[in-house]
A and B are shown apart, each in its own frame.
Chain A
Amino acid sequence: MLSKKLNVDLAEVSKPDAAAWSAVATQEVSLIGVPLGMQPSVYISTGLANRKIGAVSKVSAKCVHNETELAIRLEWEDPNYNIEQKDNTEFPDGAAVLFPIGDDAPLMTMGSETQPVNAWHWRADRPASGRSNFAAGLGTTEVTDDKQIKTESNYANKRWSIVLRRALQVPGQEGKVRQFNLGDTVKMAFAVWEGSNGERGGLKAFSPQWYEIVLEK
């Protein structure tokens, strides 16, 4: 997957329906529900074992940069529009992309102590700002920042499309976030939460393998 270089202000692609996106190649990504047995919770791994997780089975991804920012567009079909959590039983839809902070990291376990990961997390109830997460294993996710990742989203024709973008380099955040250099080949994975299916936290659909993107020079 190529992160195409565009010589534009990335604000022009910040909207999911911006025309510029039509020129960018799409990577179709298959998702599966997380294996509940791996969840670090006896309740989830056994008590919820019969629950069907992973309501969204595929997501279309696109990626561009302009030498200062990286923008990722995700689109998936979702007949249930969940943008709020106003009731205990409500969970918002969400999506995230995941990068190893170093060159590589175990994906299934959300990284490890020695190979942590960085997730860009968008949730439909806070549509304007994504959260930058640091994780070093299942259940260790920590929000490190909620400003550096800008997000915009659009729901139409029972489809979500969202854009997440961030500066390639975030000074002072070394080791906490993935830093990008032009020409890098970077591993990336995807996850989508379907709120109406009670998906939150580790309960999600995810791409069980890393994809690789190359940041076009």
Chain B
Amino acid sequence: MEIKVTRRRFLEGASVLALSLTYLNCGGQKEATKAVSALGAKVKKPFQPYGNWQDLYREKWQWDKVVRGAHHVLNCVSACPFNVYVKDGIVWREEQNAVMHARNEKYPDFNPRGCQKGVCYSQLMYSPSRLQYPLKRVGQRGGGQWKRITWDEALDEISEKVIQVSEESGPECVIYDSGTANQGYGSESAELVAFDLLGSTELDGWGCAGDMPLGAIMTWGLFNMDSSSDDYFNSELILLWIGNPSYTRIPDAHFLWEARYNGSKVVSIAPDYNASTMHCDQWVNVNIGSDAALALGMAHTIIHENLYRKAYVQEQTDMPLLVREDTGKFLREADLKKDGKSDIFYLWDLKKNKMVQAPGGEGMGVSATLKMDGLDPVLDTDGWNVKLANGESVRVRTVWARLRDRLEDYTPEKAASIVGVSADVIRNLGREMGKAKATSIFGSWGTMKHHHSDLFQRGMILLLALTGSTGIRGGGLHIGAWYLMSGLEKVLGEVQPTWWQEAILKFVQPPVREMIKHFRKYEDNYMYMWMPALLFLYEYGGLKKAVDNPAYHDENPGISMPEAVKEAITHGSMKLYPKPSTGKQPRMYIHTRVNPLRRWPKPQEALETLWPKFELIVGVNIRMSATCMYSDIVLPVCGNYERRGIKYAQSYVPYYIFGDKVVDPLHETKSEWEISGLLMKTVQEKAKAKSLKPIKDAIGKERDFTKVFDRWSKQGKFKIEDDWNYYEIVTRESPEIGNIGWDEAVAKGANPIQSYGPFRTHSNICTDYEANESVYSGQWFTEKKMCWPTLTGRQQFYIDHDWFLKAKEELPTHKSMPKVGGEYPLRLTGGHTRWSIHSTWRDEPHLLQLQRGEPAAWISREDAEARGVQEGDKIVVFNDEGKTELYGKISNAVQPGQVIIYHAWENYHFKNWESNQQPVPSVWKALHMADYSQLHYRFVYAGPHHAPRGTTVDFRKA
């Protein structure tokens, strides 16, 4: 029977049926009732809520204990304290330990810090990619066949190889790589000590990650600078310049949007409309790679409309310094006097109406300051003639005058044609910045990954200097700086500060420039085995061909790459081990918690060229990384909640973050502390057994392997089994947290900074610490008149190095991006993804489910249509160097001509493991090989630098 009735009729029908049934049944009803009652059945009423059904979820929300946790074993720039909830011996989940106060009632507080990754480390630690046992490769490298081995077997094989290679070829043929993942303040640092003792080559991965603020180094002599996040509340204008803090600074981004509510104007300068742009007052949609031109166009307006802070420029910058018109070099004392110094400079004082030595020059010594003492240096001038010591007469002009000439190439109109926005947009932005009481530029590590990033950054710093924004509350460049812990100095390295050094550090505040000299000397003497990872790849990893390719450089590079490398190595300003002159080759590679094959430019080259040189490759990791997949022995490390740790402290948040051991190490994992101790012990035992004589290292210093463990353990002071003593010393010896000791520190999890401690210079913040105020950077220079750590002692916009002069980069300028990758119409950009911290979390299944489960590139609708690519298609991104296949996410937010690939996919996420780094040779700039006062190679300071952005590519439908 098919019922074809309207609803009403159907209902009527139903009632009829119901009635008739009731009628039919009425005879039996009473009896039935009786029967039921007789049986004593309790009939429940419909809709009556059952007793305790809500207990279901109440019971779910229970745990056995709560322990302080932190994510200290990874290179995340947000230090977040967590409470870790443990149930049945398993880490159940985590929640932010939100105990951080506001500095004062003007500012919001810092709670709660932690992102979607941090709140699911509990999932990652038990995830399928977690390494559980020591593994040894069976079959080919990268073949994915393993056999489980014991720790003893692994340690024996590794130690024997270390000894064999060191004895036969020298310890520098053992290559140790801790990349940028090992920068915590915890016991993982013991590993650095171990390889220092062995004399291994240590790859400095900082530049290889593309995080070198070379423009800041050239201009300020400082590696990084930053403020606390609440200081945005003091900024009238905030420029988010090549940055997407909604992705990359999740725990801090709220300060920006809250500052906007508080009255700050926030402007996004980016080619694409992104998660941060959406919350801004204005979007300046620049062409990719045009950022320096925008800065210079704004600078032109600021100067022309007389919006610059003259006194600041006179005092804090090199603008009044005199430059010889004949050579383009600064006028130096050595020019004017026989036996004069080459690092004393001059300006013209309008008051006395004569040329005087400019305060700040490096040659003025320890007591030099920037105090003007009534000077009124000339800025604008057509120049005049100066008589040199040799009798010659040369014309000199100020840096300012030269800058003004340079800026004539960047009138807003001229800049507009490069930047892709109107002259009005540039002019107005310049005006707003010129008028703002304080301007902050969020221009962090994302601004450093272009070939000409140094020029972008010099432009930004110029704007900040013209407007007097650096070194004032609410102003400055926000890159990312660190608070230090003095206690680390007690346990790291072999050389400790002498009593008099400690005394000086404690009672005197040495000038920044002097302290940096001290550090530099220390590093030269004791950390000489560190070398830039990119240079290593250049020489041994097959990168040379692409990097030397002149087509991949500016048409006027100042110097060619092969010449620059030769110069740097010959003069020793840049180290390269094994020294090519010895004919030695790298033979063994140990990578710890880093993922070089994921990160390195063109990893296919390294696999082809470098890998065959290695007789043994050892991976030490929490999880199965791409590089571990290509290794011979893989050692499993215990993760964040399985051991104690200290997160490196970031400038944004004035707290030190400590994590306790929440559960025992999973499976057969061990901490880096234990692994490096066991390794040292095994090496020492084996060296003793064969009566190994001291081995000469790369510079001829003797390394005694029969004593390495004794030295690692500080003659037994540190035990392999327990790192408590390490943490106790670090925390007890750190006035920064009030010398409270480990147990108290970790009980709180987040500990407010008490003071900067003696090593405050190293933080790069360079401002006295006030517990109840926001932190801003550079106060020592602007208020205390300390010299900037540069040749001139000033913010130095003029670099009179020959190569720079030749390249016409002696002053900030704009240069168009070289076509690294070949003649292709599109430019590859990228950035940190919101979904992972480098490759950690990249394979976490919950997070992958919130993406597409596989790598993706964001492409513009216009470019997709031109290539017949539709939503859901996969595309191949390619150039002359390589190719990679991924989803093409068609987005309206992408600038036509732009391809965005957010980073850190593992090679094994891609078909044939051809990762998004395959088409990226990442050619750095030859100028960065220069050796010029503040610009030189130092451990995690400057040097050859990863520059993946702006690579030329095209794509097609896969």
Residues of chain A touching chain B, judged by Cβ–Cβ distance below 8 Å, are 30-38, 40, 49-50, 52, 54, 57, 100-109, 113-116, 136-140, 142, 174-176, 208-210
B33 touching A106, Cβ below 8 Å: no
List the A residue with the shortest CB-CB distance to B47.
A139
Q: In the complex the two chains form, what is the Cα distance from A113 to B18 in whole Å? A: 17
A50 touching B7, Cβ below 8 Å: yes
Query: Within the complex, which residue of A35, A105, A136 is in contact with B13, where a contact is CB–CB below 8 Å?
Result: A35
Query: Within the complex, which residue of A33, A37, A176 is in contact with B11, where a contact is CB–CB below 8 Å?
Result: A37
Among B37-45, B452-460, B866-874, the one that faces the other chain is B37-45
List the B residue with the shortest CB-CB distance to A49.
B7
Residues of chain A with a CB closer than 8 A to B39's CB: 174-175
CB of B865 within 8 Å of the partner chain: no
Of B14, B22, B27, most A-chain CB atoms within 10 Å: B14
- What would 16 more interface pairs be, CB under 8 Å, given A35-B17, A114-B29, A210-B21? A35-B11, A36-B7, A36-B10, A49-B7, A57-B1, A102-B28, A102-B35, A106-B21, A108-B22, A113-B45, A115-B29, A139-B46, A140-B46, A175-B39, A175-B42, A209-B24
Query: Within the complex, which residue of A40, A100, A138 is in contact with B32, where a contact is CB–CB below 8 Å?
Result: A100
CB of B2 within 8 Å of the partner chain: yes
B17 touching A136, Cβ below 8 Å: no
The 6 closest A-B pairs by CB, nearest first: A175-B41, A35-B14, A104-B28, A102-B32, A37-B11, A102-B35
Residues of chain A with a CB closer than 8 A to B41's CB: 101, 116, 174-176
List the B residue with the shortest CB-CB distance to A37.
B11
List the A residue with the shortest CB-CB distance to B7.
A49
Of A31, A108, A210, most B-chain CB atoms within 10 Å: A108
A102 touching B36, Cβ below 8 Å: yes
A208 touching B21, Cβ below 8 Å: yes
B25 touching A106, Cβ below 8 Å: yes
Contact with A along B39-67 (1 / 0, CB 8 A): 11111111100000000000000000000
Query: Within the complex, which residue of A49, A103, A108, A139 is in contact with B21, where a contact is CB–CB below 8 Å?
Result: A108
Do A208 and B17 form a contact, CB below 8 Å, given A140-B46, A174-B41?
yes
A103 touching B31, Cβ below 8 Å: yes
B7 touching A37, Cβ below 8 Å: yes
CB of B3 within 8 Å of the partner chain: yes
Residues of chain A with a CB closer than 8 A to B43's CB: 113-114, 116, 136
Residues of chain B with a CB closer than 8 A to A106's CB: 18, 21-22, 25
B3 touching A32, Cβ below 8 Å: yes
Give the interface SS of chain B, mostly helix, strand, loop or mixed. helix
B35 touching A103, Cβ below 8 Å: yes
Query: Within the complex, which residue of B25, B32, B44, B47 is in contact with A114, where a contact is CB–CB below 8 Å?
Result: B32
Residues of chain B with a CB closer than 8 A to A54's CB: 3
B18 touching A32, Cβ below 8 Å: no
List the B residue with the shortest CB-CB distance to A31.
B1
A108 touching B32, Cβ below 8 Å: no
List the B residue with the shortest CB-CB distance to A110.
B46
Contact with A along B486-512 (1 / 0, CB 8 A): 000000000000000000000000000
A35 touching B25, Cβ below 8 Å: no
Query: Within the complex, which residue of B13, B25, B36, B44 is in contact with A142, where a contact is CB–CB below 8 Å?
Result: B44
Do A114 and B36 form a contact, CB below 8 Å, given A102-B31, A103-B31, A106-B25?
yes
Residues of chain B with a CB closer than 8 A to A176's CB: 41
Residues of chain A with a CB closer than 8 A to B29's CB: 104, 114-115
Residues of chain A with a CB closer than 8 A to B31's CB: 102-104
Count of B interface residues, CB-CB < 8 Å: 33
Residues of chain B with a CB closer than 8 A to A101's CB: 32, 35-36, 41
Q: In the complex the two chains form, what is the Cα distance from A139 to B7 in whole Å? A: 21
Q: In the complex the two chains form, what is the Cα distance from A142 to B24 in whole Å? A: 26
Shortest beta-carbon distance from A54 to chain B in Å = 7
Residues of chain A with a CB closer than 8 A to B46's CB: 40, 136-140
Query: Within the complex, which residue of B18, B28, B44 is in contact with A140, where a contact is CB–CB below 8 Å?
Result: B44
A104 touching B14, Cβ below 8 Å: no
Q: In the complex the two chains form, what is the Cα distance from A149 to B29 in whole Å? A: 27
Residues of chain A with a CB closer than 8 A to B25's CB: 104-107, 210
Shortest beta-carbon distance from A204 to chain B in Å = 13
Residues of chain B with a CB closer than 8 A to A114's CB: 29, 32-33, 36, 43
A38 touching B18, Cβ below 8 Å: yes
List the B residue with the shortest CB-CB distance to A33.
B3
Q: In the complex the two chains form, what is the Cα distance from A40 to B25 in whole Å? A: 22
List the B residue with the shortest CB-CB distance to A54.
B3
Q: What are 8 A-B residue pairs whose CB atoms fall within 8 Å in the complex?
A: A35-B13, A101-B32, A102-B32, A106-B22, A114-B36, A116-B43, A140-B44, A209-B24
B10 touching A35, Cβ below 8 Å: yes
A109 touching B32, Cβ below 8 Å: no
Shortest beta-carbon distance from B80 to chain A in Å = 37
Residues of chain A with a CB closer than 8 A to B42's CB: 175
Chain B residues numbered 221-272 whose CB sits less than 8 Å from any CB in chain A: none
Of B11, B40, B46, most A-chain CB atoms within 10 Å: B46
Residues of chain B with a CB closer than 8 A to A38's CB: 11, 14, 18
Q: In the complex the two chains form, what is the Cα distance from A107 to B17 in whole Å? A: 10
B1 touching A32, Cβ below 8 Å: yes
B32 touching A175, Cβ below 8 Å: no
Residues of chain B with a CB closer than 8 A to A33's CB: 3
Q: In the complex the two chains form, what is the Cα distance from A30 to B1 in whole Å? A: 8
Do A109 and B18 form a contact, CB below 8 Å, given A103-B28, A139-B46?
yes
Q: In the complex the two chains form, what is the Cα distance from A152 to B921 in whole Å? A: 66
A115 touching B33, Cβ below 8 Å: yes
Residues of chain B with a CB closer than 8 A to A108's CB: 14, 17-18, 21-22
Residues of chain A with a CB closer than 8 A to B17's CB: 35, 108, 208
A115 touching B32, Cβ below 8 Å: yes
Q: In the complex the two chains form, what is the Cα distance from A42 to B455 in whole Å? A: 68
Shortest beta-carbon distance from B724 to chain A in Å = 52
Q: In the complex the two chains form, what is the Cα distance from A35 to B21 in whole Å? A: 14
Residues of chain B with a CB closer than 8 A to A137's CB: 46
Residues of chain B with a CB closer than 8 A to A50's CB: 7
Of B11, B17, B36, B44, most A-chain CB atoms within 10 Å: B36
Q: In the complex the two chains form, what is the Cα distance from A104 to B2 in whole Å? A: 29
Residues of chain A with a CB closer than 8 A to B32's CB: 100-105, 114-115
List the B residue with the shortest CB-CB distance to A142.
B44
List the A residue with the shortest CB-CB distance to B45.
A113
B18 touching A57, Cβ below 8 Å: no
Shortest beta-carbon distance from A217 to chain B in Å = 21
Residues of chain B with a CB closer than 8 A to A40's CB: 46
Q: In the complex the two chains form, what is the Cα distance from A101 to B38 in whole Å? A: 12
Q: In the complex the two chains form, what is the Cα distance from A91 to B824 in whole Å? A: 54
A102 touching B1, Cβ below 8 Å: no
Shortest beta-carbon distance from B683 to chain A in Å = 57
Shortest beta-carbon distance from B39 to chain A in Å = 4
Shortest beta-carbon distance from B25 to chain A in Å = 5
Residues of chain B with a CB closer than 8 A to A32's CB: 1, 3
Q: In the complex the two chains form, what is the Cα distance from A104 to B46 in whole Å? A: 20
Q: In the complex the two chains form, what is the Cα distance from A139 to B36 in whole Å? A: 20
Residues of chain A with a CB closer than 8 A to B44's CB: 136, 140, 142
Shortest beta-carbon distance from A68 to chain B in Å = 21
Of A32, A103, A109, most B-chain CB atoms within 10 Å: A103
Of B15, B17, B25, B28, most A-chain CB atoms within 10 Å: B25
Shortest beta-carbon distance from B15 to chain A in Å = 8
List the B residue with the shortest CB-CB distance to A174.
B39
Residues of chain A with a CB closer than 8 A to B18's CB: 35, 38, 106, 108-109
Of B18, B22, B45, most A-chain CB atoms within 10 Å: B18
Shortest beta-carbon distance from B614 to chain A in Å = 49
Q: In the complex the two chains form, what is the Cα distance from A137 to B2 in whole Å? A: 26
Shortest beta-carbon distance from B814 to chain A in Å = 56
Residues of chain B with a CB closer than 8 A to A138's CB: 46
Residues of chain A with a CB closer than 8 A to B2's CB: 57
List the A residue with the shortest CB-CB distance to B18.
A108
A37 touching B21, Cβ below 8 Å: no
B3 touching A107, Cβ below 8 Å: no
Residues of chain A with a CB closer than 8 A to B36's CB: 101-102, 114-116, 175
Q: In the complex the two chains form, what is the Cα distance from A90 to B891 in whole Å? A: 34
List the A residue with the shortest CB-CB distance to B1.
A57
